[in-house]
Amino acid sequence: MRNTGYVKVWGANNQIIIVEDGIERILGPDGIPGLSITINGNNNLVRIEFPRYFEDCKLVIVGDNNYFSILSMYSKTRIKRAFFYISDACSIEIGRNCYINPSVSMMAKEKSGVKIVIGDDCVIASECTFRCGDGHTLINEYNGNPLNEPDDIILEDHVWVGVRCLLLKGTYIAENSVVGAMALVNKKFDIPNVLVAGVPAKIIKSGINWDIADYKTYMEE
């Protein structure tokens, strides 16, 4: 098991802050076990609240005025093989008590100020991808204007994203909702308590909620 983290920083006025028991401190040279952090730019801020456990994860920040924040979890569940990439004065913010399963990637880039925001008590299943931009430009052939402007991705509190989902620019999921496995989400679902699924995703059931317990455990509670 690879569980060593490192910190490599180039630039000025970059900060990596650790919060333990409500007390903030600057990250020391030993880094965070399981999380490799690379920063190349100026005025970037990373804020990580413990307890939070990592294994073979990477955080890459490029350019100036970027922000990464992840709050604590009251469990020893680890974030495994996650990849976080931020550039162009963008941000990724992950709330409290979120479960992030293995091999998740989140990329906030391509337009200044775009962000990925994950609310509290969310579950992200394995192999999900969040992309605020497409990595290329679609162009209107008549006037040369871009057609696929980058945009935010926002999950409100208590959202469950199923395995291998692709969440693209402009995604918004309201609270207490579920995104079905292998869905492609590229628009706003601002009604809470819905199940969305499909390619592209649409509402397939309303008036739902969810519990992290499996069926047997839930019925015995």
In a domain, 172, yes or no: yes
Residue 161 lies in a domain: yes
- Does some domain include residue 1? no
Average pLDDT over residues 28-36: 89
SS3 assignment, position 217: helix
In a domain, 2, yes or no: no
pLDDT of 164-182, one tens digit each?
999 999 999 999 999 999 9
18 lies in some domain: yes
Rounded Cα distance, 176 and 155, in Å? 10
Distances (CA, A) of 67 to 4, 75, 112, 193, 221: 23, 25, 12, 30, 40
DSSP class of 187: S
Amino acid at 118: I
pLDDT of 149-159, one tens digit each? 999 999 999 99
Containing structural domain, residue 179 = 7-134+144-220
pLDDT band at residue 5 using 50, 70 and 90 as cut-offs: confident
In a domain, 139, yes or no: no
For 63-186, list the strands marked E by DSSP: 67-70, 78-80, 83-87, 91-94, 99-100, 105-108, 115-118, 123-124, 129-131, 153-155, 160-161, 166-167, 172-173, 178-179, 184-185
Look up residue 77 and give its DSSP letter: P
For the cut 80, the answer to whether the pLDDT of residue 161 exceeds it is: yes
What confidence score (pLDDT) does residue 35 get?
96
57-96 pLDDT tens trace = 999 999 999 999 999 987 778 999 999 999 999 999 999 9
CATH number of the domain that residue 120 is part of: 2.160.10.10
Within a domain: 126: yes
User: pTM to 2 decimals?
Assistant: 0.94
Does residue 61 contact residue 91 with C-beta atoms inside 8 Å? no
